[in-house]
């Protein structure tokens, strides 16, 4: 019984050490449906933020939006998907994480999902994008 408690304690310590290392979980963001041309537009983009206009209709009021550089999230967060008034789209402005910058000529992906990747990582290392849009950052 003592060795079981000891093993359980070691596993708990290892898990806490992994969480406190400050590194985000390594996820595989697999491609969802590509959004048809015209349904997502980059309204404006700087090195530190990107504003999108999105005409994809979702059945819920909020979705998790990620800006990906390969499989690395450079910006993310929950955003409302409600359209105001007669609008056919909603807007999202993603601000890059501290000390990160978009590189001119590089391809990035907007991934729209249903959960925060950290919640998914508890059960899986694969994150499903419900909708996806690729763009090349130009100054």
Domain spans in the chain, listed from the N-terminal domain onward: 24-136
For residue 92, the surrounding DSSP H or E stretch is: strand 90-95
Measured CA to CA, the distance from residue 66 to residue 130 in angstroms comes to: 11
Spatial contact of 124 and 24, defined as CB atoms under 8 Å apart: no
* CATH dotted code for 24-136: 2.60.40.10
Lowest-confidence region among 6-15, 31-40, 51-60, 93-102: 6-15
DSSP 8-state symbol, 8: H
User: Which pTM was predicted?
Assistant: 0.77
For residue 4, the surrounding DSSP H or E stretch is: helix 2-20
Measured CA to CA, the distance from residue 110 to residue 69 in angstroms comes to: 9
How would you classify the pairing of strands 107-113 and 62-69?
A: antiparallel
56 CA to centre of own chain = 17
Buried b / exposed e across 38-51, counting CB within 10 Å, b at 16+?
Answer: ebbebeebeeeebe
User: What are the tens digits of pLDDT across the range 55-107?
Assistant: 998 889 999 999 999 989 999 999 999 887 778 899 999 999 999 999 999 99
Residue 30 in this model has a pLDDT that exceeds 60: yes
Residue 135 in this model has a pLDDT that exceeds 60: yes
CA distances from 74 to 52, 128, 135 (A): 15, 17, 14
Measured CA to CA, the distance from residue 127 to residue 112 in angstroms comes to: 10
């Amino acid at each position: 019984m003592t060795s079981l408690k000891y093993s359980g304690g070691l596993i708990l310590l290892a898990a806490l050490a992994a969480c406190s290392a400050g590194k985000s979980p390594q996820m595989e963001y697999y491609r969802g449906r590509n959004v048809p041309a015209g349904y997502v537009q980059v309204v404006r983009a700087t090195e530190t933020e990107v504003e999108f206009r999105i005409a994809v209709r979702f059945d819920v009021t909020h979705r998790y939006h990620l800006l990906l550089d390969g499989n690395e999230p450079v910006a993310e967060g929950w955003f409302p998907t409600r359209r105001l008034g007669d609008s056919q789209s909603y807007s999202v402005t993603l601000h890059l994480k501290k000390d990160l910058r978009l590189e001119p000529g590089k391809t990035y992906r907007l991934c729209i999902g249903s959960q925060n990747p950290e919640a998914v990582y508890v059960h899986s290392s694969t994150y499903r994008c419900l909708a996806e849009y690729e763009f090349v950052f130009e100054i």
